Each structure stands twice: as structure tokens, then as C-alpha cells.
Amino acid sequence: MNYWNTPEQDAFFSCVAPLFPLPDVTLFPNVMLPLHIFEPRYRCMVEDVLQNDRVLAIASLKDGWEKNYDSKQCEIHETVCLAQVVTQERQGDGRYYLLTQGVCRAKLTSEENTDRPYRIGRVEVVEDEYPLPPVIDRIRRQQELVSAFRQIFPKLDLDAALLSTMEDGVPLGELCDVIAHAMRLAPFHARRLLEQSDVDQRSDLVLELLKLQCQEPIPPVSQRTFPPGFSLN
């Protein structure tokens, strides 16, 4: 089963991909998400993914997901993140530990009717939009984002190294996504940012959320993790 319509795997336009819905988890492009896969249907999904393009769509479950979680009718948000499996480790009992990397935003347009135990959706890739002329001064906005982020994570060496790399020509859209991931946002705010393809508006939202966090008491370094730990299915 080949999930890509395009001849080159790196050509992310329109494709069919396995859907992996998770409660309260939003994956952004350009960041890593570790996953612990233990449900039988998702073990099957991983086996298929590893034999093909190593790509799946990380989706967020809508409120009230508990009552229909075991069915394919459980509602999910239409904006997803296509992710590629970077590494995998299969346990003796069939469970998997995966490390995935977000590749791009995508919009779920329909679901396929298949005999697989997991869901498969047709998605269209959503590219970052940079309005012309720019609505903001993007160089200044990048500096504002980095400065505000450093106020929240002042003592983490990993963050300092990462932000040094960010300052060296990383597009504003990517910077927004990485910072949004690191902030451990509430699901509502995370989905708003994932759904925002206009980079200038996305940066407005990220800066607003950063300023709100800067006004709150900053927890000790030992209580904050970057990146976060494993997500469970």
C-alpha cells in the first residue's frame, strides 16, 4: 500500500495517510514527538507505516471523544500534521516506541473506507503563507519571539543552543512552530496555531501567548521539560 500520490516521497501535496488521533496532543511541523504505541489497531498501523512511506497524520480528537474512542466515528479536528517516523523500537510484547518528526500542516478532506483496523484519510497539504507586502516587520518579530522565549526558559542550555540556531536564518513560520511546541500550550491554543497558515498572524498569536506566560510565575527548571516526554495512544 503506497500512501503517496506523487512519484517523489518528499513531494507533499495531496496524499492518503494513516490517521493517528490523540487526545490533547498537537504536533507542529519541524519538531519531534515521541510516541508509545500499545493498542492493537495502532500496532497494525505502525507495521504498515514502517513497510511503506513511514508517514502518518497526527490528528487531535474533539471534545467528547471518550464515548466513541474505540470506533472510527470518533470526531477529530480537520487540521492535522503529517509526520515521518524517524526511529522505532519494537518491544517483545508488540508495543512500539517511536520518534516522529512533524513535516507539514495538512487538512483532512475525507476518510477512506478500508478493512484496516485504523483510520485512513485523504489530506491536502497546507503550506505556510507569507503575505505580500508583509503585515509586520518579520526580522523584528523574530527578535521579539526569541527574547520573550528566553525570559521563560532562561537557564536551559538546550534552549540556548536551539535558539542560537533559530536566529541563523530560520523562517519565521518554523520559529513560531518550534516555540509553540516548547510552550506546552493548552489544546485550544495549540490548535489555533496549527490551523493558522498565515505566518504573520501566527507570529502575532505566538507573541501574545509568550507575553501572557511571561506575566505568570515561571516554574523551576526541574519542573519544565523541552522537548516533552512520550505521548500515549
DSSP character string of 68-82: GTTSTT--B-SEEEE
Are 142 and 123 part of one and the same domain? no
Contact 128, 173 (CB under 8 A): yes
Residue ending a domain, among 127, 149, 184, is: 127
What count of other Cβ atoms lies within 10 Å of the Cβ of residue 136? 17
- When the pLDDT of each residue in the chain is averaged and rounded to a whole number, the result is 84
Answer whether residue 149 shows pLDDT above 90: no
Could you tell me if residue 34 is inside a domain? Answer: yes
The C-alpha cell 536564518 sits at 169
User: Going by DSSP bridges, is the β-strand pair 55-60/96-111 parallel, antiparallel, or unpaired?
Assistant: unpaired
In the chain, how many domains are there?
2
More confident residue, 11 or 203: 203
Residues 18, 72 within the same domain: yes
CA-closest candidate to residue 170, choices 148, 133, 145: 145
127: left (phi over 0), alpha (psi -120 to 50) or beta: beta
pLDDT tens, residue by residue, 1-38: 333 343 344 444 558 999 999 998 999 999 999 999 99
Task: Give backbone dihedrals phi and psi of 225, rounded to 5 degrees, phi first.
Answer: -125, 145
For residue 192, the one-letter residue type is R
* CB neighbours of residue 217 within 10 Å: 5
**Could you tell me which residue, 215 or 135, shows the higher pLDDT?**
135
Distance of CA 157 to the CA centre of its chain: 23
Mean pLDDT of 114-135: 95
- Per-residue confidence (pLDDT) for residue 163, from 0 to 100: 58
Report pTM.
0.82
Contacts of 63 (CB under 8 A, 6+ apart): none
Q: What is the pLDDT of residue 153?
A: 74
Neighbours of 229 (CB within 10 A): 8
Q: Judge if 148 and 117 occupy the same domain.
A: no
In tens, the pLDDT along 56-107 reads 999 999 998 988 888 898 999 999 999 999 999 999 999 999 999 999 999 9
Tell me what the mean pLDDT of segment 159-188 comes to: 80
Integer-rounded Cα Rg, in Å, for the chain is 18
* Of the candidate ranges 23-27, 116-120, 129-133, 220-224, the one whose mean pLDDT is the lowest: 220-224
Are 92 and 156 members of one domain? no
Single residue among 79, 98, 127 that ends a domain in this structure: 127
Nearest Cα neighbor of 124 from 110, 143, 113 is: 110
Q: Are residues 30 and 102 in the same domain?
A: yes
Give the burial class of 51: count Cβ atoms within 10 A of its Cβ; 0-12 exposed, 13-18 middle, 19 or more buried: exposed
**Where is the domain boundary, 61, 93, 127?**
127
Report the pLDDT value the prediction gives residue 230, as an integer from 0 to 100. Answer: 55
CA-CA distance, 227 to 224, in Å (whole number)? 9
* % of the chain with per-residue pLDDT over 70: 80
For residue 97, the enclosing domain spans 14-127
